[in-house]
Amino acid sequence: MLVDRRSFLVGSALALTAGRSARAATPVEPADFISACRRADGAYALALLTQGGKILREIPLSARGHDIAVDRESGRAVAFARRPGYFAVAFDLAGRAEPTVFKPEPDRHFFGHGVFADGGRLLMTSEHDSATGQGLIGIYDATGGFKRIGEFHSHGVGPHEAILLRDGRTLAVANGGIATDPATGRENIELPSMEPSLAFIDVKTGELKAKHTAPRGLTMLSIRHLAATARGEVWFGGQWQGSLEAAPELIGRASMDRPITMLEPASPQGVALKGYIGSVAISADGRFLAASAPRAGRIVYIDTETSRLVSETMLADGCGLAPLGADLFALSSGHGVVQVERPGAGPRSSVTVAGTEFDNHLRRVS
């Protein structure tokens, strides 16, 4: 672990949007989900809501949010700004304390994702070093005001989602492999030399346990989002950086001792899914993987035991996914839809939250 000894100010330069109070600041019922969103007035927020689409509470954001790390044991969560992210907001899920805003070092930015580790005592975030272009995992003290206490390499470029495996010791990191323009932090550059990879890292030491690169011919498939089964198999969704007509399969899997293999459905899916997977989730029993393709308006379901595509759902701009039960998923969309369904069974419930555009990720909090 590379301990960061440079000091920085937390949160003083960033503030939650002023003049807007949280809706229903004291929820009368527990929330089921949380998602970043945009309201009808164009302002950004975090929405804590029920399965039925009732928003219990909103936390204003100063800019667009992306994903949320949730620690259910402590009842805390952290939301990250969209890449390149220069702030994160830590908050109590029950609204018992004011949110805390913190930021990365001046020469770093967040990639929109993070995960709690060490029993909720640490927060680990995917970050970018603008000086070297290398990917980093930032380490923050979740018990001490989210002060940055260290970092280690992501062992790749452009780390996006990072998840903690069931052993509590291994961090799986999706290194997207895309270099970005240092001036903007978002414009992709040098695409022909991309090096996407899936890295397995020891969270205690930062040492690399295993690393798998994209198969031959797929170096322009940026590995972005991850979900793991209880047996340590990590499934991922990719985003193709080449021409759409050449889009390959976008969903694959690997484990520490097995290289990346791509899903091989009966009919090609890369072009049909518009070359873009926005989110993935594993059902509670580990049997099904859900993968969203918002540009295509489709959610596909894969049997993780047979690697077969078993069903799909059409949902315009559908991206957010959260497991609810053994084979039950919640879906959200940029059109304010919150839908619950089983693979192949159709919607069990579907509501539209007026004046709300949900962002890419939906997290279960109950």
Question: What percentage of the chain's residues is helix, strand, coil (to nearest 5)?
Answer: 0, 50, 45
Instruction: Give the tens place of pLDDT for each residue, 157-198.
Output: 999 999 999 999 999 999 998 876 655 555 655 666 789 999
Q: Given a cut of 70, is residue 296 above it in pLDDT?
A: yes
- Pair type for strands 122-129 and 135-141: antiparallel
Q: Given a cut of 50, is residue 7 above it in pLDDT?
A: no
Instruction: Give the tens place of pLDDT for each residue, 37-60.
Output: 999 999 999 999 999 999 999 999
Give, as one character, the DSSP assignment of residue 233. Answer: -
Min mean pLDDT across 81-85, 88-92, 107-111, 180-184 is at 180-184
Which residues have a Cβ under 8 Å from the Cβ of 345 and sit 6 or more positions away? none
Q: Where are the domains of the chain?
A: 1-153
pLDDT of residue 279: 98
Mean pLDDT over 1-28 rounds to: 35
Q: Amino acid identity of 270?
A: G
Q: What is the DSSP annotation of 14-82?
A: --PPTT-PPTTSS-SS--SEEEEEEETTS-EEEEEE-TTS-EEEEEEESS-EEEEEEETTTTEEEEEES
Q: Which residue has the higher pLDDT, 279 or 97?
A: 279
pLDDT band at 275 (very low <50, low <70, confident <90, very high): very high
Inter-residue contact 144 to 162 (CB < 8 Å) = no
Report long-range pairs for 58-64 (Cβ below 8 Å, ≥24 apart).
Answer: 58/22, 58/23, 59/16, 59/22, 59/89, 59/91, 59/99, 60/16, 60/17, 60/20, 60/22, 61/16, 61/17, 61/36, 61/89, 62/14, 62/15, 62/16, 62/17, 62/87, 63/87, 64/36, 64/38, 64/359
Q: Terminal CA-to-CA distance of the chain, rounded, Å?
A: 33
- Pair type for strands 234-240 and 221-228: antiparallel
Mean pLDDT over 209-214 rounds to: 96
pLDDT of residue 52: 92
pLDDT of residue 24: 43
% of the chain beyond a pLDDT of 90: 79
Total Cβ atoms within 10 A of residue 265: 16
Q: Which residue has the higher pLDDT, 24 or 305?
A: 305
Task: Measure the CA–CA gap between 305 and 302, rounded to whole angstroms.
Answer: 9
Peptide bond into 27 cis (omega under 30): no
Q: Given a cut of 90, is residue 231 above it in pLDDT?
A: no
Predicted TM-score of the model (pTM):
0.90
Q: Which residue has the higher pLDDT, 366 or 244?
A: 244
pLDDT of residue 326: 85
pLDDT band at 11 (very low <50, low <70, confident <90, very high): very low
Mean pLDDT over 67-79 rounds to: 95
pLDDT of residue 230: 87
Q: Amino acid identity of 71?
A: D
Burial code of 88-107, b = ≥16 C-beta within 10 A, e = fewer?
bbbbebebeeebbbbbbbee
Task: Measure the CA–CA gap between 225 and 326, rounded to whole angstroms.
Answer: 21
Task: Measure the CA–CA gap between 352 and 332, rounded to whole angstroms.
Answer: 9
Mean pLDDT over 144-164 rounds to: 95
pLDDT of residue 26: 52
Question: What's the mean pLDDT when you consider all of the chain?
Answer: 89
Q: What is the DSSP annotation of 268-306?
A: --TTTTTTB--EEEE-TTS-EEEEEETTTTEEEEEETTT
Q: What is the DSSP annotation of 304-334?
A: TTTTEEEEEEE-TTEEEEEEEETTEEEEEET
Mean pLDDT over 336-341 rounds to: 97
Task: Measure the CA–CA gap between 142 and 145, rounded to whole angstroms.
Answer: 6
Instruction: Give the tens place of pLDDT for each residue, 118-133.
Output: 999 999 999 999 888 8
On the CB side of 142, CA atoms within 13 Å amount to 26
pLDDT of residue 30: 86
